[in-house]
Structure 1
Amino acid sequence: MNNKSMDAELSNWYSTYGLVTVERIFGLMSVRLSPEELRTVSCNANSPYYQLLQVPLKNIFNGIIMGQALDYREYAQKMLVDYLISGAANMAEEQAKPEGVRLELELMRSDLIESGDQFDLLQFEHHKLISESQRVLIDTAKSLPKPRVMIDEVLSQEIQTIAHSFLEQSEALSLKFRGYRTQFYQTILKARELLDSLPEYMNTFEGDQKHLEMLFFDSKLGEDAN
């Protein structure tokens, strides 16, 4: 993944979190820069410190998308659990809509559990990548010349090469996280449609403001990157 595409994906998010995030990332590497130096290295691809930032920023960005997918999954799970504990799922057939709706909801719940298990494995990959990349980047930061050189195109390219495989892995995870986010959201929409078709079920879950607040975020974050 080149720096141009990275900039395009992270620009809006970075403008919100800015130098505070950059300072914290460098803090983990035991790199202390002045505010002016932070501004310089955070926007200049010819800075070796800029290259040190790219993997951690991408991992943080992925973590946000992962969290959104988790919120969607939890919301879908709670919708279906609310339906199950309402008793509507066990109503006599003569009092209910066609059994196919209930069967579809049960299959949806099973699929959600299976997808959730796969998603949990993906989260493990994400945290493993963070751990491995941090170790390498911390060692790389320690090897940089002192006094610190803010702009060095050759050194910047060397670090870009070191970070390349991590960025590729991070981008692959990003695609998967966005895919799960969409999948879990589609589950919510389908479950809502099916539940609304059951006259004996009162969907009080979605009438609760605290539940709706789980969905108050930019669900398209990262989609413009490709």
Structure 2
Amino acid sequence: MSEAKSEIASSKWFSTYGIITAERILGKYQIKLAQDELITAIKSPFSFYHKLLEIPLKNVLNGIVLQQANDYHIYAQKLFIDYLLSGENSKEEGAQGASTREAMENERQQLVLLGEEYHKNEGEHNNLIASSQAALIKITHEFNVALEQAVTMLATTLKNVGLADAKTKARLAIIHALIFCNLSEPQLQSNPFLFTEKMNEILKISFKEDIKEKIMENLSVLLNIVLNFDANVETFIERGKEMSVRANSFRSEFHDTIIRVMELIKLLPEYRIDLDQDAINREPLYFDKSIGAL
């Protein structure tokens, strides 16, 4: 699901707001990581927590791009409102600037159609947020239950081999492995105890083969949820990618409409933009256009 370098974690927006946002998202799923664990998990593309965060963070990012597109849309509408209120479009066909006024009307009609498409897409974005959120809440509830069961069973196994403070260490070891262990299929085929070995970076004990097998038995339900995660959320990942393309397209199209309309306005012999009002109208447009760019 994740590229070697996460698009979201590497973005400028994420470096500014992402840690807080990620913390809040995990909180909704009743998952709490220490900040150093959270930062590491986000940067690790094969981490379960990274994969869990990627869908809602993508939705947040797409929402920002769509809002920027809407800001451009509103500004373009205001350009046309001021133009129409001036009466410039009502001049006789033979009056100077007729071809420009015709081009302006074509742009206005195209803007109306583009706006309708945008609002339809906005509804699809909200639907994606709701449906993916419902799926992730269900998965994370099952994950949290399985994690607590795994911690309890693992603690018993560790006590039996003489490890002190077994429950605390069991939890730390499992979370460590969930962050750092690459559970992609080729690695598992070559080393079925990969997760156990990653846990032992925290536990630091000598495992016999039968203990390794017992630990894997303790973790079986939890690991099954983790291993099936990608397949269970694949549709939301694809829809998020498609939404990102469309959101960027709307932002570009509304922006390009503004540029074309401004050039047409310059060609009108008598109509001039109210510069003071235009400065007010432009205020929402001072945002980072690179956010979410493809």
Aligned partners of 2:9 and 2:42 also within 8 Å: no
> Where does residue 89 of structure 2 map in the other structure?
89
Is 1:123 the counterpart of 2:122? The answer is yes
> Where does residue 159 of structure 1 map in the other structure?
229
> Where does residue 65 of structure 2 map in the other structure?
65
> Where does residue 134 of structure 1 map in the other structure?
133
- 2:268 is aligned, of 198, 201, 223, to 198
- How many angstroms apart in 2 are the aligned matches of 1:55 and 1:160? 11
Moved more, 163-172 or 213-222: 213-222
Q: Structure 2: which amino acid aligns with 1:15? A: S
Moved more, 183-192 or 26-35: 26-35
- How many angstroms apart in 2 are the aligned matches of 1:9 and 1:35? 18
Q: Structure 1: which amino acid aligns with 2:113? A: E
Shift of 1:26: 0.9
> Where does residue 113 of structure 2 map in the other structure?
114
Aligned partners of 1:71 and 1:215 also within 8 Å: yes
Q: Structure 2: which amino acid aligns with 1:88? A: E
Q: Structure 1: which amino acid aligns with 2:70? A: L
Listed one character per residue, the Cα deviations across residues 70-113 of structure 1 (whole Å, up to 9, x for unaligned) are: 0111111110111000122223456x423221121112111111
Aligned partners of 2:41 and 2:50 also within 8 Å: yes
User: How many pairs align?
Assistant: 222
- How many angstroms apart in 2 are the aligned matches of 1:205 and 1:183? 24
Shift of 1:18: 2.8
Listed one character per residue, the Cα deviations across residues 156-192 of structure 1 (whole Å, up to 9, x for unaligned) are: 4432232222111111011011111111111101100
Is 1:209 the counterpart of 2:279? The answer is yes
Structure 1: 5+ residue runs without aligned partners? none
**Structure 1 residues 196 and 91, CA gap change in structure 2 (3 angstroms):** same
Shift of 1:27: 1.7
> Where does residue 19 of structure 2 map in the other structure?
19
Secondary structure, counterpart of 2:272 in structure 1:
coil
> Where does residue 169 of structure 1 map in the other structure?
239
Listed one character per residue, the Cα deviations across residues 131-174 of structure 1 (whole Å, up to 9, x for unaligned) are: 11111111111112124532334444432232222111111011
Q: Structure 2: which amino acid aligns with 1:164? A: E
Shift of 1:204: 1.1
Q: Which has the higher contact order (CA 8 A, sep 6+)?
A: 1
Give TM-score, length-normalised by structure 2.
Answer: 0.70
Shift of 1:220: 3.3
Moved more, 214-223 or 178-187: 214-223
Shift of 1:44: 2.0
- How many angstroms apart in 1 are the aligned matches of 2:9 and 2:281? 29
Give TM-score, length-normalised by structure 1.
Answer: 0.89
Moved more, 109-118 or 144-153: 144-153
Aligned partners of 1:72 and 1:181 also within 8 Å: yes
> Where does residue 44 of structure 1 map in the other structure?
44
Shift of 1:214: 2.2
Q: Structure 2: which amino acid aligns with 1:209? A: A
- How many angstroms apart in 1 are the aligned matches of 2:27 and 2:119? 29
Greater radius of gyration (CA): 2
TM-align CA RMSD: 2.0
> Where does residue 53 of structure 1 map in the other structure?
53
> Where does residue 75 of structure 2 map in the other structure?
75
Secondary structure, counterpart of 1:124 in structure 2:
helix
Q: Structure 1: which amino acid aligns with 2:259? A: L
Q: Structure 1: which amino acid aligns with 2:279? A: Q
